[in-house]
Chains A and B, each alone.
Chain A
Amino acid sequence: MTNHAPRRTILHVDMDAFYVSVELLSRPELVGRPVVVGGTGPRGVVAAASYEARRFGVYSAMPGSTARRLCPTAVFLPGNHDLYVRVSRQVHEIFRETTPFIEPLSLDEAFLDVTGARRLLGDGATIGRHIRERVASVLGLSCSVGVAPNKFLAKLASVAAKPRVTPERVLPGFGVFEVVPGREIEFLHPLPVQALWGVGPATLERLQRLGVKTVGDLNALGEVSLVSALGRASGRHLFALSCAHDERAVETDRAMKSIGHEETFARDLHESGELRTELVRLSDGVASRLRGAGVGARTLTLKVRFAGFTTITRSTTLASPVATAAAIISAVDPLLANVDPTPGVRLIGVHASNFGEPVEQLRFDDLLAQTLAQTPDNETPDNETSHPASTDWTEATVAIDAIRQRFGDTAIGPASTMSATGLRLVRRGAQQWGPDHDREQPKRG
């Protein structure tokens, strides 16, 4: 295969124990101790663990109870999401000194396409070292940088750059690790096959039955055998990755294909009314981000995970792209009305995709309100379901955006998200450790 495009240089920058490191900036007395952020409520999972805590086997996404058992001496902090968002923005400002092509994956990691910056700033490893130094000197935080010709290898390279943890001690990492062009295979093939994106537990089991342990083993099987073992899509995908091929571009927010928010609840919800409040909150967050990106979405998807972990998704495609909370709510509300919450709902999510210019196909609003009110299983009273979907929300929405820009996100929001302690709005990434953090303040220290 010939490739006439210039070789790309992609950086994957991953903050080291980001939430913990941010906390430690204001609590220097905890430096060097096992510290865990999150994992404090009944459903709480660990959002981040310091490298000292990782020595005890504590990792992010682990249930808080397990973390406590493994490392009883750890300091558990509730987490301050707004602070992490602020610091994350500052990190992105530093990225932007180098390139505008930034694809954030979460608050603490991002891909950067620095292909165009090489001529000015030096090769990928040089740029990576420069970014590390800037992040350390400006913010006092450390990060690991993977440098490679594509996203997939860059992500693996940043793992190789990370500090290493043994039960005895924490060893410093390379900081910057480059997969040198031409030596991709040499780097990739000895890695365990789990390193490939798309190898989950089921695929892994099948591969192990074929005697595949490393990426090299998988590559040696050949595309034909892989396709017959794993199916066409998965087989081809993994084979391409094992050849170090990954053509995906770094996608900035504007070029994103979908925007979504999800929330895992501290306890299972059984009532449509409660779910609807969450739905309004999530829709508001999605709408805000759509407008921020200057797009509207035609397809809206509701995701519901039940107590038994069964997950369903329901989608609707509108006649034209929308970007207001009211329009999103009126699209997803009927989807929710058809969901029976009695088994208990653990998570709901709202995702927007199929983007276009935000024009709005208007509806017969009174008619819509009537049919919504009649939808079976909808326990909310009629006056609440009657969304003025096509009344003029445009001006109100412009005002909402202006207020949020000036006074912060929680300055204004849907009435149904109001509680005694203020507005509970959606924040990007906030679901990572469940909603326990602002309701149940754990003891510190």
Chain B
Amino acid sequence: MKFRCERDLLADALATAGRAATGRTGTLPVLSGLRLELVGDKLTVTGTDLELTIQLEIEVGGERDGGVVLPARLAADIVRSLSAGKVEVSVDGDDVSIAGGRSQFAVRPLSLDDYPRLAAPASSAVTLPSGEVGEALRQVVRAASTDEARPILTGVLLTAEAEGLRMVATDSYRLAVRDLPGASVLGADQKVLVPGRALSELQRLVGHASELTLRLGERDATFEVGNTRLTTRLIEGEFPNYRQLIPASYPNKLTVARESLMEAIRRVKILARDATPIRLQMSADSLRLTAITQDVGNAVEELDAVLEGTELTVAFNPDYFAAGVEAVGGDEVTLETLDALKPAVLRGVGRPEYLYLLMPVRVP
């Protein structure tokens, strides 16, 4: 194998695919590498940890077809560090030579034979507007759990709802539900559970393109954005019945300007160390935020707000609350509550497609 390529193009490809290669040298060391395959002028770069696969195709100046597995981290570090301009990569006996400018590296490759064969994605494809999907991912993925002890909650549920697509995620402290009307990807009763980690990688990719293609297989889902293809295993199991968590009605509804609320949280949070809760004291025409950290100090900020219902104080984890206010969008946000120990719901005014349900923190 031998090819030439612009440094930036190759560096980006190695970095992107490298995000799926595993950092751990576990049972299959070859997974810490990236597979490069050259056919004509087309170079395919693949990284996988068997759960998540990221594959890119880039145009290069091909000279000799072939394949090789390079240590992902090392290869990316080398290419990024070369001086700008052309990079030449060639298999040279036992080593892979990476050269650019007046620098020359020889790297021992990993075993190409050990690299897993990856299944071809399903043939039936659906095309989605990537802008809207990107926004929905941003709003939902944040609520998925990262705790591997509860694998089901590390997934984002994609389900058919109201002639569209619905995305749902929860880490058992908060729940995010987002509807994408008109995006019919799934059959009437079809549901899939996509790992949150894969979707946050997808979120990084969708920024650049206008269209996103989804191919759903039996056990995996493939997303195609521009020259990049991301395949992830689906999580098996039943997502909890999230509907029962959303109370039918709330007696109290607070409306407040979103931007000023976000700024107030940002300030008050300085005194909310770690997970110290922020207390929200709601009265008829104001909202008072308080954070107290023992032996450190406290912060208070008062905002104009409108409360329909009874006065109430609720405490939230500052990060979860800030993430919700940020996610709902819109100029104004509503916070609906039952009492200090029941789930509260955040929505953006005029944004019916998204809700963020949050459990309070019990404070002494």
Cβ B152 vs Cβ A371 within 8 A: yes
Interface centre among B147, B149, B241, B320 (most CB of A within 10 A): B149
B315 to chain A, nearest CB (A): 7
B363 to chain A, nearest CB (A): 5
Q: Which of A360, A367, A371 contacts B362 (CB 8 A)?
A: A360
Cβ A364 vs Cβ B343 within 8 A: yes
What B residues does A342 contact at CB under 8 A?
none
Interface residues of B in 157-177 (CB under 8 A from A): 170, 172-173, 175
What A residues does B320 contact at CB under 8 A?
319
Determine if A320 is an interface residue (Cβ-Cβ < 8 Å): yes
Cβ A366 vs Cβ B275 within 8 A: no
Complex: chain B residue closest to A354, CB-CB: B274
Q: Tell me the complex Cα distance, A375–B152, Å.
A: 9
Cβ A360 vs Cβ B149 within 8 A: no
Determine if A121 is an interface residue (Cβ-Cβ < 8 Å): no
Q: Tell me the complex Cα distance, A319–B147, Å.
A: 12
Determine if B187 is an interface residue (Cβ-Cβ < 8 Å): no
Q: Tell me the complex Cα distance, A268–B133, Å.
A: 52
Interface residues of A in 294-326 (CB under 8 A from B): 298, 314, 316, 319-321
What A residues does B175 contact at CB under 8 A?
364
Cβ A359 vs Cβ B152 within 8 A: no
Q: Which of A321, A334, A390 contacts B359 (CB 8 A)?
A: A390
Interface of A is mostly: mixed
What A residues does B362 contact at CB under 8 A?
359-360, 362, 394
Determine if B153 is an interface residue (Cβ-Cβ < 8 Å): yes
Cβ B147 vs Cβ A316 within 8 A: yes
Cβ A366 vs Cβ B359 within 8 A: no
B241 to chain A, nearest CB (A): 7
Cβ A360 vs Cβ B361 within 8 A: yes
Cβ A371 vs Cβ B364 within 8 A: no
B290 to chain A, nearest CB (A): 13
Q: Provided the pairs A335-B149, A367-B242 are in contact, do residues A319 and B343 lie with their beta carbons within 8 angstroms?
A: no
Interface residues on B, range: 20 to 34
Determine if A368 is an interface residue (Cβ-Cβ < 8 Å): yes
Cβ B359 vs Cβ A363 within 8 A: yes
What A residues does B25 contact at CB under 8 A?
none
Determine if A383 is an interface residue (Cβ-Cβ < 8 Å): no
Interface centre among B238, B275, B317 (most CB of A within 10 A): B275
B280 to chain A, nearest CB (A): 14
B313 to chain A, nearest CB (A): 14
Complex: chain A residue closest to B277, CB-CB: A359
Determine if A126 is an interface residue (Cβ-Cβ < 8 Å): no
Interface centre among A320, A363, A390 (most CB of B within 10 A): A320
Cβ A338 vs Cβ B245 within 8 A: no
Q: Provided the pairs A298-B275, A367-B170, A371-B150 are in contact, do residues A358 and B240 lie with their beta carbons within 8 angstroms?
A: no
Cβ A356 vs Cβ B173 within 8 A: no
What A residues does B122 contact at CB under 8 A?
none
Q: Which of B172, B237, B274, B276 contacts A363 (CB 8 A)?
A: B172
Q: Tell me the complex Cα distance, A320–B245, Å.
A: 21
Cβ B274 vs Cβ A367 within 8 A: no
Q: Which of B242, B245, B315 contacts A359 (CB 8 A)?
A: B315
Interface residues of B in 312-364 (CB under 8 A from A): 315, 317, 320, 341, 343, 359-364
Q: Which of A321, A338, A360, A364 contacts B172 (CB 8 A)?
A: A364
Interface centre among A360, A375, A392 (most CB of B within 10 A): A360
Determine if A106 is an interface residue (Cβ-Cβ < 8 Å): no
Determine if A246 is an interface residue (Cβ-Cβ < 8 Å): no
Cβ B361 vs Cβ A361 within 8 A: yes
What B residues does A316 contact at CB under 8 A?
147, 149
Cβ B240 vs Cβ A371 within 8 A: yes
Determine if A93 is an interface residue (Cβ-Cβ < 8 Å): no
Cβ A367 vs Cβ B237 within 8 A: no
Interface residues of B in 171-213 (CB under 8 A from A): 172-173, 175
Q: Tell me the complex Cα distance, A291–B315, Å.
A: 21
Q: Which of A357, A366, A372, A375 contacts B245 (CB 8 A)?
A: A366
Q: Tell me the complex Cα distance, A248–B362, Å.
A: 35
Cβ A362 vs Cβ B150 within 8 A: no
Determine if A374 is an interface residue (Cβ-Cβ < 8 Å): yes
Complex: chain A residue closest to B342, CB-CB: A362
Determine if A370 is an interface residue (Cβ-Cβ < 8 Å): yes
A327 to chain B, nearest CB (A): 10
Could you give, for residues 225-269 of chain B, a 1 whenever the CB lies within 8 Å of some chain A CB and a 0 otherwise?
000000000000110111011000000000000000000000000
Cβ B149 vs Cβ A368 within 8 A: no
Q: Provided the pairs A316-B149, A319-B317 are in contact, do residues A374 and B238 lie with their beta carbons within 8 angstroms?
A: yes
Complex: chain B residue closest to A374, CB-CB: B237
Q: Provided the pairs A362-B362, A371-B240, A390-B359 are in contact, do residues A320 and B277 lie with their beta carbons within 8 angstroms?
A: yes
What B residues does A374 contact at CB under 8 A?
152, 237-238
Complex: chain A residue closest to B294, CB-CB: A357
What A residues does B294 contact at CB under 8 A?
357
B343 to chain A, nearest CB (A): 7
Cβ B147 vs Cβ A356 within 8 A: no
B350 to chain A, nearest CB (A): 27
What B residues does A356 contact at CB under 8 A?
274-276
Cβ B360 vs Cβ A320 within 8 A: no
What A residues does B364 contact at CB under 8 A?
357-359
Complex: chain A residue closest to B149, CB-CB: A334
B354 to chain A, nearest CB (A): 18
Q: Provided the pairs A357-B364, A362-B362 are in contact, do residues A319 and B149 lie with their beta carbons within 8 angstroms?
A: no
A3 to chain B, nearest CB (A): 26
Q: Tell me the complex Cα distance, A67–B363, Å.
A: 53
Q: Tell me the complex Cα distance, A280–B276, Å.
A: 27
Interface centre among B172, B241, B359 (most CB of A within 10 A): B172
Cβ A361 vs Cβ B245 within 8 A: no
A88 to chain B, nearest CB (A): 31
Q: Tell me the complex Cα distance, A22–B347, Å.
A: 66
What A residues does B152 contact at CB under 8 A?
371, 374
What A residues does B238 contact at CB under 8 A?
374
What A residues does B317 contact at CB under 8 A?
319-320, 361
What B residues does A335 contact at CB under 8 A?
149
A137 to chain B, nearest CB (A): 41
A323 to chain B, nearest CB (A): 10
What A residues does B170 contact at CB under 8 A?
364, 367
Could you give, for residues 383-406 of chain A, a 1 whenever the CB lies within 8 Å of some chain B CB and a 0 otherwise?
000000010101000000000000
Q: Tell me the complex Cα distance, A228–B294, Å.
A: 43
Cβ A370 vs Cβ B341 within 8 A: no
Could you give, for residues 331-365 of chain A, a 1 whenever the CB lies within 8 Å of some chain B CB and a 0 otherwise?
00011011000000000000000001111111110
Complex: chain A residue closest to B239, CB-CB: A371
Q: Tell me the complex Cα distance, A366–B149, Å.
A: 17
B327 to chain A, nearest CB (A): 17
What B residues does A361 contact at CB under 8 A?
173, 275, 317, 359, 361
A318 to chain B, nearest CB (A): 8
Contact sample, A vs B, 9 pairs, CB 8 Å cutoff: A319-B173, A334-B149, A356-B275, A357-B364, A362-B173, A367-B172, A367-B242, A368-B172, A371-B152
- Rank and list the top 9 A-B pairs by shortest CB-CB distance, nearest first: A334-B149, A362-B359, A360-B362, A367-B240, A320-B275, A370-B240, A363-B172, A364-B245, A361-B361
14 more A-B residue pairs beyond the given contacts A320-B361, A359-B363, with a C-beta to C-beta distance below 8 A: A319-B361, A337-B149, A356-B275, A357-B276, A359-B275, A359-B315, A359-B362, A362-B360, A367-B240, A367-B245, A370-B240, A371-B153, A371-B240, A392-B341
